[in-house]
Structure 1
Amino acid sequence: MPEPVAMPERRQSQFEFVAMLALVLAVIAFSIDSMLPALPEIAQELSPDNVNRAQLVLTAFVGGMGVGVFLAGPLSDAFGRKPIITLGFGIYALAAIAAIFANSLEMLLIARFVQGLGAAGPRIVSQALVRDLYQGREMARITSFIMMIFILVPAIAPSLGAVVIHFVGWHGIFGAFVLLALVGSLWLNLRQDETLPPARRRPLNMTNLVASAREVLGNRQVQLVAIVMTLGFGQMFALLSSAQQLFSETYHKGAQFPLWFAAMALLSGIGTVLNARYVLRLGMRRIVTYAYAMQVVVSSIMAVLVIGDLLPEALRFPAFFVWAVSVFFMAGVTFGNLNAMALQRMGHVAGMAASVIAAVSTIGAVLIAAPIGLLYDGTARPIIMATLICSAAALWMMRKVEEV
C-alpha cells in the first residue's frame, strides 16, 4: 500500500508551484546550454594555444554537480528542503560572480566546478520537495509538467546565450546566472512553505546516513527503476554527445544545427504533455513500458533502413530527424514517471533517495554514452544500435517493476 503523505500547506497554486520548480530546474539546463556560444571567445581569450580546453568549462560544471548530488539530498533530509536549495543557489551565484572576474582558464574551471556543486542543491532537493507534497501518479503528472518546461530550455538557451554575448561578452553569461539564481531563490522563499517539518527530519550523522543509503539501495523497486533510468539516460546522452557530428558531418546540416536542435526539443516536449494528460488514467508503469516498446520498434526499423542502406538520399536526414525526435519524446514520457515510481515508497528519506538515484543513473549513463560516442564512424549506425539495445533492455527490466 502507498504510504500516507501529510500534505504541508503551501501558499501558491499548483500552476505557480510547477512554474517555480520548472524555473529552479531550468537554471541547471541554462547553465550548460547557454555556455555553448561562449566557448570560442573563452578559448581565444583564456586558452589560445589549446582551444579544445575551453570545453572543460562544461565538464567542470557537470563534475561539480556530480559531487554535489551525494551531499544535497541527505542535507535536505536533516535541515529541510528550502534551506538547502537556498544554500545551493547561494554557492552557485557566488561562484558565478567569481567566474566573471576569472583571468585564467584554471580560475574559471574552479569557479565552474563550485558552481556545479551549488547547482546540485536545486537539482536534487526539488525532486524531494515534490515527493513531500505528492505521491504516485499525481507526482508523475506534476513532474511531467515541470519536465515539459525544463525540456524547452535547451531549445532556446544557446540563442539567449548568443544574445547576451553579443551585447556584453562571455562574462555577461555569468551575470545572467546570478540573476536567475536570485529570482529562483526569492520565489522559493517568498511563496513556498517548508515541506519537511522538523518532526520528520533525520539527524545528520553517519549512522543515519548509512541506514538511509542501505534502505534506498536495498529496495528492489528502486534498484530496478534506477537501472531503467540509467539505460534511458545513457541512450539520450549518447545521442546528445554525437548530435553535433551527426548533423554536421553525416547529414551536412551544421549551419542549421541550432534550429534543428530547437525543433527537436520542442517536438519532444509533446511527450511530457501527453504523459501529464494520461498518466492518471493509464498508470506510470504502462506508459513507460509502451514508450520503450515503441522505441524498440522504431529503432529496429531505423536500423534495418540505415544498415541496409535502403533509404534514398533525399529521405536519409528526414528519417534520422524523426528517429531522434522519438528518442527525446521517449525521455519526456518516461523520466518523470520513473522518478515518481522510485521515490514512491521513499518519502521518509526522499532526499537521500533522490541523491542515490541521480548519482547511480548519471554515472551509469556516462559509462554507457562515452564508449558509444567513441564508436562514431561517420554514420548513425552506432547510436541507433545502442538505442535499440538500451531500449530493449529497459523494456525487459520493466516487466519486473511494480505499478504504484
Structure 2
Amino acid sequence: MTAAASPPSIQRSIGERELIVMMATLMALQALSIDSMLPALPNIAGDLGAGDANRRQLVIGVYLIGTALGALVPGALADRFGRRPVVFGSIAAYCLLSLVCALAPDFSVMLAARSLQGFLSAGLTVLPSAIVRDRYSGDRMARMQSTIALVFMAVPMMAPSFGQAVLLVAGWRWIFGTTAAMSLLVMAWAWLRLPETLDPADVQPIRLSPIITNMGASLLDRSAIGYVIGAGVLWSGLFGYLNSSQQLIAEQFGGGDKFPLIFAGMAGGMALANLTNSRIVERFGARRVSQVALFAYIAVAVLQVWRAFGGNEGLWDFVALMGAQMCLIAFMGANFSSVALQPFGRTAGAAASAQMFVRSSLSSLLGIAIGMSYDGSARNLSVALLTGGLLTLGLVLYSERGKLFRRLYAPGAERPA
C-alpha cells in the first residue's frame, strides 16, 4: 500500500493561506475541547460528584495526558499510510468521544472518556507539524508554524466565552455536543480540500524496528533534544496555569464572571506575539528569536516570584505578568518545535510523534502537579515558572553546545531536508 493519494485538482487548488487556516483549525479542535470547559468546571464537578475542589482540574489534565500518550501512534501511521487517513481517523474519534463525555453519568466515566478522547485524537496535534514539514524547512517552516499558531490562538481567546455562553442557555453537556458538531464540519472541509503531502518515496514501513529507529533518532539528536525537553518544561508552567486558571482568576483574585474576558485578553497577547514572530523569524532566525525570548521569560519569572511572595499581589498584577509570560512562550513554542524537527525531513511523521510525546507527556504531568499544588495563591505557580525557565536555558545550552544566538543558515534559505 502506498500513501493515500489526493485528486490532482486538490493538489493544485489548495494554497498556502488555506493550508495555514486548515492546520490551525485541526489543532484548534483540541484547544476548544480544553478551554471551552474552563467556565464549566465547577458545574461538571458538582453534577458528577468530583469531590475535592482541585479534582475539577482533572477534566483538563487527563485530556492532556491522553494526548501526550497518543502522540506516539499517529506519526508512524501517517508515515506509512499518508497524512489524510490519520487526520480523518483522529477527527472521527474526537467527535465520538465528545458525545460520550456529553452523556457521562459520573465523574469517573467523564475522566475515562476524556483520557480516551485525548489519546485517539492526538493526530490533530501531531499531524499539522508533519504536514508543514512535508512542504517547508528552515526558518520558512518556523514562520509557517508561527502563522498557524497565530490563527489557532483565536480559539483559546474565544473558547471560554463560548463555554460561558452555552452555560447561559443550556447545561454543560451541550458544550461537548457542540464541539462534536464542529468536528464534523472540519472533517468535511478536510475531506474536500486537504491534499496528501507525504511523498510516495518517503513512505516508511510499519515495522517495529524502523519505527523505533526513526523515533529514537529524533530524540537522540543533540541539536534537537534540548529544545524538545525544554519546550515540555516551559509548557508545563503554562498548563499548570491553565489547569488552575479558573480558581486563580475567578476565585482567588476575584475576577468572577469576567474570567472569560480576562482569559481571552491574555490569549490575545499570545496571538499578537505569534503574529510578530511570523514577521521576524525569517529575518533573525528561529534560534535567535526563541533564545532572546527565553532570557526575557526568566526575567519576568523573577518578578512573578517577587510579587507572589510579597503578600499583596492583586488581579491585574498577576494578569500582567502571566500575560507577558504567555506572550514569551509564543515566541518560543513554534520556534523550538521547528528547530527540533528540522533535521528529520524523510521521517517527519515519526519525529513529530516522538517529540510531541516527550514534550506533551512532560508538560501534562508536570502541569497537573503544578495545578494541583494550588494553595489559594500564585506562589507555587511562580516558583514553577522560574524553575522551568532556568532548566530550559540549561537544556538549550546543551543542544547548542554552549553557543547561543547563532544562525546556521542564511536568511531566506532552506536547509536541505
- Could you say which TM-score interval applies, normalised by the shorter chain? 0.7 to 0.9
Who is 2:396 aligned against? 398
Q: Secondary structure at the match of 1:277?
A: helix
Task: Give 1:268's aligned residue.
Answer: 270
Does 83-92 or 176-185 show the bigger shift?
Answer: 176-185
1:258 corresponding residue in structure 2 = 260
**Cα distance in 2 for residues equivalent to 1:68 and 1:196:** 21
Q: Is the 8 A contact 2:225 2:399 kept in 1?
A: no
Instruction: Compute the displacement of 1:48 (Å).
Output: 8.2
Q: Structure 2: which amino acid aligns with 1:385?
A: V
Q: Name the count of aligned residue pairs.
A: 393
Deviations 1:95-125 (A, max 9, x none): 2334444445454444333322232121111
Larger mean Cα displacement after TM superposition, 121-130 or 270-279: 121-130
Residue equivalent to 1:348: 346
Aligned positions of 1:240-319 closer than 5 A: 240-248=242-250, 250-307=252-309, 316-319=314-317
Q: Counterparts of 1:138 and 1:64 in 2: how far apart (Å)?
A: 31
Please tell me whether the aligned partners of residues 21 and 146 of structure 1 are also in contact (alpha carbons under 8 angstroms).
Answer: yes
Aligned positions of 1:16-165 closer than 5 A? 16-47=18-49, 56-165=58-167
Say whether the 8 Å CA contact 1:37–1:158 is kept in structure 2.
Answer: yes
Instruction: Please report how far the alpha carbon of residue 149 of structure 1 lies from its aligned counterpart in structure 2 after TM superposition.
Output: 2.4
Matched, 1:176 2:178: yes
Q: Normalising by structure 1, report the TM-score.
A: 0.87
Distance 1:348-1:114 versus aligned 2 partners, 3 A rule: same
Partners of 2:294 and 2:328 within 8 A in 1? yes
Report Cα offsets for 1:376-398 as digits up to 9, x if no partner: 45443332233223223323433
1:182-261 alignment runs, 5 A limit: 182-248=184-250, 250-261=252-263
AA partner of residue 138 (structure 2)? G
TM-score by length of 2: 0.85
Aligned twin of 1:336:
334
Q: Verify the 8 A CA contact 1:267 1:329 in the aligned structure 2.
A: yes
The gaps in structure 1 that reach 5 residues or longer are 1-7
Instruction: Tell me, in whole angstroms, the C-alpha distance in 1 between the residues paired with 2:172 and 2:375.
Output: 34
Measure the CA separation in 1 of the matches of 2:374 and 2:45: 25
Give the residue type in structure 1 aligned to 2:177. G
The answer (yes or no) to whether the contact 1:72–1:121 under 8 Å persists in 2 is: yes
Amino acid at match of 1:189: W
Looking at structure 2, the residues matched to 38 and 204 of structure 1 have their Cα atoms a distance apart, in angstroms, of 42
What fraction of aligned residue pairs are identical, expressed as a percent? 33
Pick aligned residue for 2:319 from 321, 325, 331 = 321
**Contact 1:229–1:361 (Cα < 8 Å) also in 2:** yes
In 2 relative to 1, CA 179–292 (structure 1 residues): closer, same or farther, beyond 3 Å? same
The one of 379, 389, 400 aligned to 1:381: 379
Give distance in 2, aligned partners of 1:58 and 1:201.
35
CA distance in 1, matches of 2:254, 2:291: 35
State the 1:234 CA deviation: 1.9
**8 Å CA contact 2:146, 2:277 repeated in 1:** yes
The Cα of 1:307 is off from its aligned counterpart by: 3.9
Say if 1:37 and 1:162, in contact at 8 Å, map to a contact too: yes
Matched letter for residue 269 of structure 1:
A
**CA-atom RMSD in angstroms:** 2.7
Looking at structure 1, the residues matched to 32 and 196 of structure 2 have their Cα atoms a distance apart, in angstroms, of: 26
How many angstroms apart in 1 are the aligned matches of 2:61 and 2:353? 20
Shift of 1:172: 2.4
